[in-house]
Amino acid sequence: MKPRSVGFKSSCLSVDKELVIVFLLVVITAIIFFFVSNQRAFLNFFYLPVLLGAYFYGRRYATLAAFFSILLISVVAYVYPATFSFAEQQDLYRWLDIVTWGGFLLVTGYLMGLLYEKKEAARRDVRSTYKGVIEMLSLLIDSVDQHTHSHSYRVSALAEKIGQEMGCSEEEVENIRIAALLHDLGKIGVSREVLTKIGSLTIDEREQLKMHTVKAASLLKPLGGRVMELLPLILGHHEKYDGNGYHSLVGENIPLGARIIAVADVYDALTSDRPYRKALPPIYAKNEIVSSSGTHFDPQVVKVFETIFPTFDREGMVPLKSLHG
């Protein structure tokens, strides 16, 4: 019962905050209203808090903004009858004006809020579908090679954690998470013989494997929209900080998300069994990452990785024991 009470109080505080913002918008408009000469014409400016309430909070707050506005103007019209430039004997016309204006304001607020809520519902549906497609693609990627099963998920979880610790915005962290899930999509076009080869790769095989970042971008590019933000991260996750990567990008020219995914990708590869070697213990893998700071990896990313490394087991975000697949 206690946690539910805390949640209820938190919800109420959130609602009150939004209501205060809407009310303040109405009050600010009302203050300006008192300093204009043609106050009847200025009544239309009360549509601003109503539309803003609809855009940011939905129909409930848009309707409340309209109600506050009508109540405020009704009080002004009653206390200061001359405000609306009608003669005293024409009270009927003054109130008819206010009722007509108030009716339009309420209808506008309700309809705009309704449209906003429908748009948000459609956006949530699209986002849900988008996430579902991403998850299915990540499973398809992991099915290409049994030795890298769940690799994309683990890289995604670790890259997300690093991004959060580095102070990336919520949208940036989400892009990093999804790009990490899809970073090996291009391996679908690489032969299984190359992916599972125990011996050294030939020059041609290396070139074939090297193209997997470009192939991933080519597969995703037709989707357009938000996916376009992921492409630089996927293309750049095999770049090296000193410029010796796939496309010779150097330092800050490599997108931050790609630099983060690079650390997560190599760490998980080192701590996973591969056809050509056994998994390294996590501490040895971490030391490999740290020793490559400034050459293979961005020193700032490595510093954050090193800081959060002891928390993996405790927080369960990327448990060390799960990194072996």
- How far, in Å, CA of 304 to CA of 297, rounded? 12
pLDDT class for 287, splitting at 50, 70, 90? Answer: very high
Residue 51 CA from chain centroid, whole number = 25
* Least confident piece of the model among 13-17, 31-35, 151-155: 13-17
User: What pLDDT, in 10s, does the model give residues 95-104?
Assistant: 777 788 788 8
Q: What are the tokens at 98?
A: 């206010």
H-helix segments, the chain: 2-33, 39-42, 47-57, 59-79, 91-144, 151-165, 170-182, 192-195, 203-210, 212-220, 231-235, 256-270, 282-291, 299-308, 312-315
Whether 18 shows a pLDDT value over 90: the answer reads: no
- How far, in Å, CA of 256 to CA of 159, rounded? 11
Whether 317 shows a pLDDT value over 90: the answer reads: no
Average pLDDT of every residue of the chain: 76
User: What pLDDT, in 10s, does the model give residues 180-199?
Assistant: 988 888 777 666 666 666 66
Task: Return the pLDDT at 228.
Answer: 86
Q: For CA atoms 257, 260, 262, 268, give the dihedral sign.
A: negative
Question: Which CATH superfamily includes the segment(s) 146-324?
Answer: Hypothetical protein af1432 (1.10.3210.10)
Looking at per-residue confidence, does 9 or 110 come out higher? 110
Rg from Cα positions in the chain = 29
Terminal-to-terminal C-alpha distance of the chain = 39
- Neighbour-count burial for 40-65, b at 16+ CB within 10 Å, e otherwise: eebbeebbebbbbbbeebbbbbbbbb
- Residue 46 neighbours by CB under 8 Å, 6+ apart: 26, 29, 33, 66, 69, 73, 105
Residue 312, CA distances (Å) to 5, 137, 315, 319 in order? 32, 26, 6, 5
Q: What are the tokens at 32?
A: 């300006």
Eight-class DSSP state of 222: G
Nearest to 266 by CA among 245, 243, 249: 245
Looking at per-residue confidence, does 151 or 122 come out higher? 151
pLDDT class for 145, splitting at 50, 70, 90? Answer: low
Residue 114, CA distances (Å) to 60, 63, 67, 85 in order? 9, 10, 16, 35
Whole-structure pTM value: 0.61
Long-range CB contact pairs, 107-110, < 8 A, 24+: 108/47, 108/50, 108/51, 108/66, 109/50, 109/51, 109/53, 109/54, 109/59, 109/62, 109/63, 109/65, 109/66, 110/59, 110/62, 110/63, 110/66
- How far, in Å, CA of 142 to CA of 145, rounded? 6
Q: What are the tokens at 113?
A: 């809020």
Task: Return the pLDDT at 307.
Answer: 92
- How far, in Å, CA of 322 to CA of 228, rounded? 31
